[in-house]
Chains A and B, each alone.
Chain A
Amino acid sequence: MRYSFRVTIDEAEVERLAAQVGLTIAPTSRAAVAANLKGLLDAARLVAEFPLPEETEPAPRFEP
């Protein structure tokens, strides 16, 4: 499975995403948050570009 993550993020996008999780981001922070989010999405994309076997299973062992 491959995911595609955005390569650019602008301040309007930050505002829209923040609203989804009930966050209000101060105008003075939006550019820095956008830059940080781009960095994290770049990291996510680097992970997603690796072709994992379909059966790779992330759930931890359940030992009740």
Chain B
Amino acid sequence: MIDGATSALAIAAAVRTGKTRARDVVGGALDRMAARDGTLNAFTRVLRDTALADADTVDRRLAKGDDPGPLAGVPFAVKNLFDIAGLATLAGSKINAGLPPAERDATAVARLRAAGAVLVGALNMDEYAYGFSTENTHYGPTRNPHDPTRIAGGSSGGSAAAVAAGLVPVALGTDTNGSIRVPGALCGVFALKPTFGRVSRAGVVPLAWSFDHAGPFARSVGDLAAAFDAIQGPDPRDPVCATRPAAPCAGELGRGVDGLRIAVAGGHFARLADDAALAAVARVAGALGARAEVTLPEAHRARAAAQVITACEGGAYHLERLRTRAADFDPMIRDRLLAAALLPAAAYAGAQRFRAWFRARVAEVFREVDVMLAPTTPWPAPPIGAPMLTRIGDVEVFTRGHLGVFTQPLSFVGLPVISVPIVLPGALPLGVQLVAAPFNEAALFRVASRLEAEGVVAATAPTVLS
């Protein structure tokens, strides 16, 4: 039986071998969405008619003996900043609702569809991706499937929540400073931020051009690899997409971790976090026998530089809308973007110079280490509407902004990262980042697969919604 716990790979196998129809799979996903999304608010748009029509197309192709693709009949959904042909691309905003419909799908969406997957809807997010909480004022907060009083994380909160709740097995999101990994961790699913340039961003509304990434969410490592393999590779529509050929990762899963040098990130990545977040890293390190510690020098400044570049590029991208439509921005975002638009050029250039220096230091570290372990977030999901500030030890930090403290220094220099989920009984989910050198996603999948096989990490189904 196919239900909300069934993997994408199992669905595709059942559809491709005629054991079930794509229409029944997609109909089941739409029914689950109708039953559960009233609570979660993960979706901003459900594409019932086109999804069922696309599923029928998959079934007709199979009946004729055609190959509809490796993800035949797999329902998926995308953060609503990916272009979907025929719809206005909201990017979490009210302003964009007035735009003309997109003329074609974003490349990543088109590639999943070409692999036979069926798009069932668009997902909630922080407005213009400038946040970590998906407490969207226009479209409402997305609720965490493990505790609906808490945030799903952001900015790809709808994507993580929809996968965690079993509404879809695969979703796409974007990550500039942590927006795939943070909600992935808080909702307890696997989440991949690929190497910068590995997955096309064509047809994706930007936040910060210098380090916007697109990537998948899934409930298993196999599904994550299948989704990544479907979307990765060169794309002439994205000027910064790498020209090197796609490097499929599905075949890496059973290779084990022998020969991989694995170390734990110290310094910045071991401070200002709950004990539970650090314990999650220790649990993963213990399972892998990783005893070495490495330090990314000046990681706290890397985070600061990421904030400056994000603000400058975001403020510049939205400047005209800020001039003419400021009142229509989400109040959660508006004042931050207005401030961003006022930063001096020297701040931007200095941050980019620091980035070049930091990238070279990180490259040195990854000559000695293949995979680095770090917490994804400093704590589990805060309540929706939590106070702006939180005290940790004798330091006061921004409750939402601090969620990116461990993700920002890594996306800043484009490293590939898988956030693997740790969901202990009676506790909220946490994530651990597996980090590698650029274009070494293969090592991440080997490690994630080993951890999954040993039961150390798993996207445990939420109990409150079942």
Q: Which residues of A contact B (CB under 8 A)?
A: 1, 3, 5, 14, 17-18, 20-26, 29, 32-37, 39-44, 46-48, 50, 52-53, 56-58
> In the assembled complex, which residues on chain B have CB atoms less than 8 Å from the CB atom of A32?
335
Q: Is the CB of A23 within 8 A of B343?
A: no
Q: Is the CB of A14 within 8 A of B301?
A: no
Contact of B339 among A26, A40, A50, A52 (CB under 8 A): A40
> In the assembled complex, which residues on chain A have CB atoms less than 8 Å from the CB atom of B300?
46
Q: Is the CB of B338 within 8 A of A29?
A: yes
Q: Give 11 pairs: A residue, B residue, CB < 8 Å, sorted on A.
A: A1-B350, A18-B338, A23-B341, A24-B323, A25-B338, A26-B326, A36-B338, A37-B343, A42-B304, A44-B346, A46-B300
Cα distance, A28 to B116, chains bound together (Å): 50
Q: Chain A: which residue is nearest B312 at the CB level? A: A40
Q: Is the CB of A44 within 8 A of B301?
A: no
Q: Is the CB of A37 within 8 A of B356?
A: no
Cα distance, A43 to B323, chains bound together (Å): 25
Q: What is the predominant secondary structure among interface residues of chain A facing chain B?
A: helix
Question: Shortest Cβ distance from A16 into chain B, in angstroms?
Answer: 10
The number of residue pairs between A and B whose CB atoms lie closer than 8 Å in the complex comes to: 104
> Would you list which residues of chain B between 321 and 351 have a CB under 8 Å from chain A?
322-323, 326-327, 334-336, 338-344, 346-347, 349-351
Q: Is the CB of A44 within 8 A of B308?
A: yes
> In the assembled complex, which residues on chain B have CB atoms less than 8 Å from the CB atom of A18?
338, 341-342
Question: Shortest Cβ distance from A2 into chain B, in angstroms?
Answer: 9
> In the assembled complex, which residues on chain B have CB atoms less than 8 Å from the CB atom of A26?
326-327
Q: Is the CB of B304 within 8 A of A33?
A: no
Q: What is the predominant secondary structure among interface residues of chain B facing chain A?
A: helix
Question: Shortest Cβ distance from B358 into chain A, in angstroms?
Answer: 10
Q: Chain A: which residue is nearest B356 at the CB level? A: A58
Question: Shortest Cβ distance from A22 into chain B, in angstroms?
Answer: 6
Q: Chain A: which residue is nearest B348 at the CB level? A: A44
Cα distance, A32 to B332, chains bound together (Å): 11
> In the assembled complex, which residues on chain B have CB atoms less than 8 Å from the CB atom of A14?
342
> In the assembled complex, which residues on chain B have CB atoms less than 8 Å from the CB atom of A57?
353, 356
Question: Shortest Cβ distance from B240 into chain A, in angstroms?
Answer: 9
> Would you list which residues of chain B between 78 and 116 have a CB under 8 Å from chain A?
none
Cα distance, A58 to B344, chains bound together (Å): 17
B125 adjacent to chain A (CB < 8 Å) = no
With A3-B350, A56-B357 already in contact, 12 other A-B pairs whose C-beta atoms are closer than 8 Å = A5-B344, A17-B342, A22-B323, A25-B326, A34-B339, A35-B339, A37-B339, A40-B347, A46-B304, A47-B351, A50-B298, A58-B352
B319 adjacent to chain A (CB < 8 Å) = yes
Of the candidates A3, A14, A44, A47, the one having the most CB atoms from chain B within 10 angstroms of its own CB is A47
> In the assembled complex, which residues on chain B have CB atoms less than 8 Å from the CB atom of A5?
344, 347
Cα distance, A14 to B338, chains bound together (Å): 10
Contact of B340 among A22, A29, A40, A56 (CB under 8 A): A40
Question: Shortest Cβ distance from B251 into chain A, in angstroms?
Answer: 30
